[in-house]
A = this chain, B = another copy of it.
């Protein structure tokens, strides 16, 4: 089991804080946006006397409510095609365990969300990375790369759209390409759509918008980022494939039920006003604009403009971002402050890639983001390993 690459610098950050340094955390995707009050109020006003197990697939009332939510984003689904999970994490694990046998392979464009590795280890599945390029903004790798990677053990392609860590928003055409590969080679298409609402350039294409591949498509979802409700641990797995639903239900039954309190939160969230995401989206977009502009004005830094999510990847003029990010915490301060970034090496499956890249999560307000960018700018001037 690999350790979390995002968390391996945590001891250095703790040491920096103990020395009195202010650390701007751009390393993790914990949004600072407040959880909408109606969601928290719904939890405060629960009215049961016994905190019972819910249905293993989640409360029926919540699943029926989710049908409404998905209808609003153009996804036609029935309540019994939804299995509520303990976070998006469990949806990913269930998809791998239900659809792949030990030793089977899943193709994932890299860089990718590092915890996919962990779930793959748990499911006994081999991750086969195919590389996307910062110079193309991390667009979908060409069809050839997929065809070259497919073996008799390949059972699925996993995509995160919009992407963590790259922020890339896949186009309708790219999604259709993936569908055609899935159909041609009889693969599952696992679609992680945690950041669906956060699209700034273009519109979101859900895998469940695609026609004619119902038995191939598994959607993995979560309320964590959508409503700043990460601690609830509520996600969902959706598919129109009955056989997969039946198999996932066995895993769901083994762990009895998803958490009850946060299902109340999720159910209330669907009733938020339709303009709720406008404010959040505008806030994230202005943050994105700020950091992308600042980054591209720093000498030697390259940062493609991400179309969605709340992450940006940047190439830095340094020898190695693992060393650089540790140095930022151990040996650098600017006016008593420093910045914590996620070195990109942990997001690549191919050894040696991403050594000059970092991921930045723009989950702080703009004043703090500005100060964090000041730190980074000064650090790049001072770093002994700059190139």
Q: Report the bound CA distance from A112 to B360 in whole Å.
A: 48
Quick check: is A237 within 8 A (CB to CB) of the other chain?
A: no
**With A4-B250, A97-B122, A250-B118: A86-B50 Cβ-Cβ less than 8 Å:** no
Q: Does A265 contact B (CB under 8 A)?
A: yes
- Cross-chain contact A119 with B51 (CB below 8 angstroms): no
Which residues of chain B are near A87, meaning CB under 8 Å? Answer: 255-256
A253 touches B90 (CB 8 A): no
Q: Are A231 and B250 in contact (CB under 8 A)?
A: no
**Distance in Å: Cβ of A31 to nearest Cβ of chain B:** 7
- With contacts A51-B232, A233-B86 taken as known, whether A259 is within 8 angstroms of B256 at the C-beta atoms is no
Of the candidates A31, A86, A255, the one having the most CB atoms from chain B within 10 angstroms of its own CB is: A255
User: For A1, what are the chain B residues with a Cβ–Cβ distance below 8 Å?
Assistant: 97-98, 247, 250-251, 254
* Beta-carbon nearest neighbor of A2 in chain B: B250
Of the candidate stretches A33-41, A128-136, A176-184, A204-212, the one touching chain B is A33-41
Tell me the bound Cα distance from A257 to B86 in angstroms: 10
Residues in chain A within 8 A of chain B (CB atoms): 1-4, 7, 30-35, 39-40, 43-46, 49-54, 56, 86-87, 89-90, 93, 97-98, 102, 115, 118-119, 122-124, 228-233, 247, 250-251, 253-262, 265
Sample (18) of A-B pairs whose CB atoms are under 8 Å apart: A1-B97, A1-B254, A7-B253, A32-B50, A51-B229, A51-B230, A52-B230, A54-B231, A89-B256, A102-B102, A102-B124, A115-B255, A115-B256, A118-B250, A118-B254, A230-B256, A233-B258, A259-B261
Top 5 A-B residue pairs of the complex, sorted by shortest distance between their CB atoms: A118-B254, A231-B260, A261-B261, A259-B259, A4-B253
Apart from A40-B49, A52-B231: 14 A-B pairs, beta carbons within 8 A = A1-B250, A1-B251, A4-B250, A4-B253, A4-B254, A50-B228, A51-B229, A53-B230, A54-B231, A86-B259, A97-B122, A122-B123, A233-B257, A259-B259
